[in-house]
Amino acid sequence: MSFSVGIVGLPNVGKSTLFKALTKKQVDIANYPFCTIDPNVGIVAVPDKRLEKLAKIENSEKIVPTTIEFYDIAGLVKGAHEGEGLGNKFLSHIRKVDAILEIVREFSDKNIIHVHSEINPKNDTEVVNLELIFADLSTLNKRVEDLDGQTKSSHDKKIAQALDLFKRIQKNLEEGRLANEMSLSDEEKNLVKPLNLLTIKPILYVLNVDENKIKEKKDLGENFLKISAKIEAELAELPAEEAKIYLQELGLEESGLDKIIKACYQKLNLITFITAGPMESKAWTCEKGARAPQAAGKIHTDFEKGFICAEIINWQDLLESGSYSAAKDKGLIRIEGKEYVVRDGDVAHFRFNL
């Protein structure tokens, strides 16, 4: 399972620089707004040290990590919902992603112009979020109007329920709050899903700072990460071992990429389970709380349809045992049924009927 994250923000905040660093994919980076017109897409392997270790004890022929798709989307400006800049074209690209990574500029560079002529992270965040809110209000206003008309000629409870929900979200947006700040039931989430609202998507804010400020302690809140796109660009140009040494010299425990991936996983409520054997050691992504049949379905739909049971062992237990057969002899492999909730780091072997 691959999931997608759209890198957004005002022009010249470091989106394309970060994208290039994350994907090691050359894109057109220039010092002017809208140099990115169509979204660049890069598929990145999610680093997972567990795979490498398990592949060694299983003598796997190959290692297959799970992936994340990054979309570098053109810079947004004030008035985009009314067609300013790239307007609705920009907003339509955001609708396709699972989560939004909003880059906010704090770095200082006189050679790179700021679209508002001043470095003000709080103001920049408000501008972007307001454009998303206005775009969603346009969608909701039309839908509410349609449903209002339908309720006059119908007493369908489902229509009335949807109308009430949409009006609540509408009011929330009119008050300047994002839809993802609301507490919605699973049923309500399913009702609003077809609208594909922008502000209901998980949003992670990335503060792009100067290199010399990367280690400064600053409480940004749970929705904020701090990175230096310039450092990430330098790391991307180095071989793996040299990049590790460079991180150590900087006093950093992990790269910005690793931090972003972990945060995106958390935002999207995702976990990783693993299948390991002589052919390959492979990572799979599923939603936290998924039961064994649903996790099996990530590998192949037939696995879910014909699910019998799952052989489960924690990756650390398997590693310490030295082999799958040794773990079985120790009684560390459990047989789990349809109600088992898969955990992050589970190594699974599914039994099924075709």
Domains with residue ranges and CATH for the chain: 289-352 (3.10.20.30)
If one counts every other C-beta atom within 10 angstroms of the C-beta of residue 155, the result is 8
Tell me: pLDDT of 32 over 70: no
Tell me: pLDDT of 76 over 80: no
Whether the predicted model's global pTM rises above the 0.85 cut: no
- pLDDT in the model for residue 205: 93
- pLDDT in the model for residue 33: 47
Rounded-to-integer distance, Cα 26 and Cα 37, Å:
15
pLDDT interval class at 178 (50, 70, 90) = very high
Tell me: pLDDT of 279 over 90: yes
Tell me: pLDDT of 317 over 70: yes
Percent of the chain with pLDDT strictly greater than 90: 43
pLDDT interval class at 29 (50, 70, 90) = very low
Single-letter amino acid, residue 281: S
- pLDDT in the model for residue 56: 93
If one counts every other C-beta atom within 10 angstroms of the C-beta of residue 328, the result is 13
- pLDDT in the model for residue 87: 46
- pLDDT in the model for residue 80: 54
User: What Å distances lie between residue 272 and 178, 223, 299, 345, CA to CA?
Assistant: 29, 22, 12, 6
Going across the sheet that includes 203-208, the strands are: 40-45, 67-72, 3-8, 99-105, 203-208, 224-227
Q: Which of the two residues, 119 and 39, has the higher pLDDT score?
A: 119
